[in-house]
Amino acid sequence: MRDAQIAAAFAGERQGGDFFDSIRVSPNRVLFGLLDVAGHRTENEAILADAQQVFRELGTELFSPVEVNEADAMTQLCVQLNRAIMDAAQGVHSCPAFAGCYNEDLGIVFYVNAGHTPGLVRHGQEVSELPATGLPLGLFSHATCDAPLIAMESGAALLLASRGVVEAKCKEEEFGMQGLESAFQQAPILGAHDLCVSILNHAQEFACTPAIEDDMTALALVRRKVA
């Protein structure tokens, strides 16, 4: 990517339904996403496969033209992912999801947050949340999501973390969004993969016992700092 990186990492055994992906969909656009399909991974293979096929094939179709209304395209992708998940599950099957399209020319991300843990954006030392813009996928056949945008200035970073990270526990205390934001704020922004590893290390160090049912996954988009 030009002046940016995308990476993802996970900790421990992948038992749950976390799914992450990124794909170049045009000369200046990269699509990325993190989904958390409810249930055990062995039960979700068909749902994950169908979701990935829609994400990649429809994502490329929607975002490959030179002139694209990226907000509308993100909303349409959300609608079709929702239908694919319900069709594969043959009914209701909760799937919180966060998907975004990064425009390299403009340094902006159009995104949908379908009931996922909030995305986090860091500019300097200031961290802001990207809350849900719609309900989790897989619950209602005609559900839609709004698709706002966030500008990524030079040196900025966007972080997505799965529920397993936020819900990491020590005794009765959760790592939580507060722990996630604190770890993000303190982490050196050296690269996307290093950032993901740093966040997962913080969550694992906090937890008294390793996660058994929930995956711990982080995905980051980092825009390189221009001198």
Residues 126-176: tens digit of each pLDDT: 999 999 999 999 999 988 899 999 999 999 999 999 999 999 888 889 999
Query: ∠ at Cα 81 (135, 48), nearest 5°?
Result: 105
Sequence-ordered list of residues with C-beta below 8 angstroms from that of 200, at least 6 positions apart, any chain: 9, 10, 11, 165, 216, 218
Residue 168 or residue 112, greater confidence: 112
Smallest Cα–Cα separation from 26: which of 75, 63, 80, 51?
63
**Tell me, what CATH number does 198's domain have?**
3.60.40.10
pLDDT tens digits along 66-102: 999 999 999 999 999 999 999 999 999 999 999 999 9
Question: What pLDDT does 143 receive?
Answer: 86
Of the chain, the percentage scoring pLDDT greater than 70 comes to 95
Say how far apart CA 100 and CA 109 lie, in whole Å. 6
pTM for this prediction: 0.93
- Can you tell me which residue has the tokens 């902006």? 108
Range of the domain at 69: 4-223
Smallest Cα–Cα separation from 30: which of 118, 99, 113?
99
Residue 66 carries which DSSP code?
S
Residue 211: is its pLDDT beyond 60?
Answer: no
Residue 225: is its pLDDT beyond 90?
Answer: no
> How big, in percent rounded to 5, are the helix, strand and coil portions of the chain?
30, 35, 35
Name the band, by pLDDT with cuts 50, 70 and 90, for residue 202: very high
Residue 17: is its pLDDT beyond 90?
Answer: no
- Alpha carbon separation from 80 to 126, 145, 215 (Å, rounded): 34, 11, 25
Chain-centroid distance of CA 202 in Å reads 19
Number of structural domains, the chain? 1
Residue 181: is its pLDDT beyond 90?
Answer: yes
Of the chain, the percentage scoring pLDDT greater than 90 comes to 76
